[in-house]
A and B are shown apart, each in its own frame.
Chain A
Amino acid sequence: MANTYVTIATTTVGSGGASSIDFQNIPSTYTDLLVKLSARDNRSGESVTDVLVKINNSSSNLSDRRLFGNGSGAFSDTATTGRVGVEPGPNATSNTFGNFEIYFPNYAGSNYKSYSADAVSENNATLAFTTFIAGLWSQTTAINQLTFYPAASASFVQHSTATLYGIKNT
């Protein structure tokens, strides 16, 4: 059986926290990329915070449409910040981490790069989010770097993890 779903890199945040999780030098040898992220941040006084992505170290040329539910209603909005989902923060229930799956089809191709991101931040409390995001990086350059970081200059806390997989279609 072909080995077509391969771990490219994995990261676990250490005791000091981390302002970002960065995958560099991503080879162009796969068809699609998939990132699985488990994360929580240290943003003071907050229950939830957006997690954002930079592509090739750029936060420009990003757009998205988001569908989300927060336990009391369903909503939709847009942004140009590179959102991939929402994670718990210090005011959320202890030990809860948000889970994310972010899929980048044809990441090494010559068209603009779309992505699909699903995330949850359940924490057995009033405020929690489920998000579905359709994102676009309007650049034709192959993706060779993905950097995930919490909004508002927060940092990922210890035990946050991220793994980058490569998927081949042949």
Chain B
Amino acid sequence: MPATYEPIATTTLSTTATTVSFTSISGAYTDLVLVANVQRATTAENPSLTLRFNSDTGTNYSMTNLLGNGSSASSSRQSTQNMMNFSYFSMASAANTFSTYILNVMSYSNSTTYKTVVGRSGDAGAGTQATVGLWRSTSAITSIIVTNDGSPTNFASGSTFTLYGIQAA
């Protein structure tokens, strides 16, 4: 395997948090992969794991989802959103249990096309999800904000977030 899969930055929460930021992302790679292993801090409300690019809070995001909850399969889509959501299942909250997110950001540094994300996420106690997301901007992605969708429930201590860069050549 060529050494083209490189960690850009990693964060392990030492306390609860509503936001994890990856800033000043170099344009030197072809694609990005965000791997997160996340627990919610309380069961008061289920936070979503969502992405924003370049701090864009406009309604420039859309998603199409395929979701299985253990008893039925469904598909949904959301247009004109102000963030990209990868948790339409209940994020893990039980002791020692974390939900997994593997989010592939394609051709993130070009300044010609809108940006697409292919995401897989899930929790064995709640559901599994496949999502394609779109950010309608031609700007190169230089920052990724991972948020909890404004929920009063934070990401728990011990949650991990790593951003990798992949080079085509």
Q: Which residues of A contact B (CB under 8 A)?
A: 1-7, 31-32, 63-69, 73-78, 103, 105-106, 110-112, 114-116, 118, 132-136, 138, 140, 165, 167-170
Interface of chain A, helix or strand or loop or mixed? strand
Q: Which residues of B contact A (CB under 8 A)?
A: 1, 3-7, 10, 35, 37, 66-73, 75, 92, 96-100, 102, 120-130, 158, 160, 162, 164
Chain A positions within 8 Å of B68 at CB level: 65-68, 74-77, 132
- B7 and A2: CB pair below 8 A? yes
Q: A66-B68, A103-B102 are in contact. Are A4 and B122 (CB under 8 A)?
A: no
Identity of the chain B residue whose Cβ is nearest the Cβ of A105 in the assembled complex: B37
Given A111-B98, A138-B96, 4 more A-B residue pairs with CB atoms under 8 Å apart are: A32-B35, A63-B125, A67-B127, A114-B124
Identity of the chain A residue whose Cβ is nearest the Cβ of B97 in the assembled complex: A112
Interface of chain B, helix or strand or loop or mixed? strand
Chain B positions within 8 Å of A135 at CB level: 124
- B120 and A132: CB pair below 8 A? yes
- B122 and A134: CB pair below 8 A? yes
- A65 and B70: CB pair below 8 A? yes
Among B67, B73, B123, which residue has the most Cβ atoms of chain A within 10 A? Answer: B73
